[in-house]
Amino acid sequence: MRYFIELSYQGTNYSGWQTQANGTSIQATLSHVLTKRLGKPMYIVASGRTDAGVHARQQFVHLDVDSPLPLSDDFLYSLNCMLPPDIAIHAIFPVRDTDHARFSARSRYYQYHITRHKDAFRQHLTLHFRPELNVEIMNQACEVLLRHRNFRSFSKFRPDVMHYECELTFACWRYTTPGCLTFHIKANRFLWGMVRTIVGTMLEIGQGRLSLERFEELILARDRSQLGAPAPANGLYLVEVGYPDGVLANRPVRDDMD
């Protein structure tokens, strides 16, 4: 039987989603708790691999088990008690054997949060950035971005990546509150380091250090070495994963969501 797990996490203390030889990962932490609670080794697959320090408001993973799980509030509570405070499971529900957390996903939506004012309680959750930004021209850069499909220029090299095509649904910058700026971007898939590199480049554009014409030239060059440093990980969130109708049919309604 296959189950989906819906969870969220603060990525500050982790080396990313994927299990690694050096460093604590979210995948290894969650797998360890599931293995301990269920009494047998558990292997989990996520909708996508977030980088070190990146957060997730919504992430889905799947796991396969030999017998039905006890889907009670007590079972969910016991798992959350075993997990560290910065990882939370919100729901566990059965899916079809053909439903896959990664390959069935049709979209991923990310946000990047920037604040002009230092916040002692959110230092690992937003980027504190003081320079003045021209948000109008940054949104014009988003329009340029949406005209393209190949994002090789924004991706770190990975030997397992077969292509660099991504279908962007939207990209824009919006003020959520005075002094708090958020970048919104949604696509069918994202490349390794893609969103942070886009944000880092957009910040250069917003400061007048990079023209829109040069920005498009860099996209067409398909050469990561021509772009600067990515934005820090602490401001980036995976906020929503989209699936076709039917995949989340058994997902319980969450009472902690607006």
Domain borders along the chain are 2-104, 107-238
- The topology under which CATH files domain 107-238 is Alpha-Beta Plaits (3.30.70)
Instruction: Work out the average pLDDT over 209-224.
Output: 95
Catalytic annotation, residues: 51
Answer yes or no: is 110 a known binding residue: yes
| Rounded Cα–Cα distance for residues 127 and 237 (Å) | 12
Average pLDDT for the chain: 94
| Rounded Cα–Cα distance for residues 253 and 234 (Å) | 29
Retrieve residue 195's tokens: 């969103």
The predicted pLDDT at position 256 comes to 62
Model's pTM, two decimal places? 0.94
Instruction: Give tens-digit pLDDT for 33-54.
Output: 999 999 999 999 999 999 999 9
The predicted pLDDT at position 258 comes to 47
Instruction: Work out the average pLDDT over 156-171.
Output: 84
| Rounded Cα–Cα distance for residues 7 and 241 (Å) | 11
Q: Does residue 161 register a pLDDT over 50? A: yes
In CATH, the number for domain 2-104 is: 3.30.70.580
Retrieve residue 118's tokens: 């230092």
The predicted pLDDT at position 177 comes to 85
| 2-104 and 107-238 agree in CATH topology | yes
Retrieve residue 38's tokens: 């269920």
Of residues 101 and 155, more confidently modeled: 101
Instruction: Give tens-digit pLDDT for 107-153.
Output: 999 999 999 998 898 889 999 999 999 999 999 999 999 999 999 99
- How far is the CA of 78 from the CAs of 11, 29, 124, 149, in angstroms? 22, 15, 28, 44
The predicted pLDDT at position 19 comes to 87
Contact between 205 and 219 under an 8 Å Cβ cutoff? The reply is: no
Q: Does residue 4 register a pLDDT over 50? A: yes
Helix (H) or strand (E) holding 5: strand 2-9
Q: How many Å is the Cα radius of gyration of the chain? A: 19
Q: Of all residues in the chain, what percent carry a pLDDT higher than 70?
A: 97
| Rounded Cα–Cα distance for residues 206 and 211 (Å) | 9
Retrieve residue 46's tokens: 């996520």
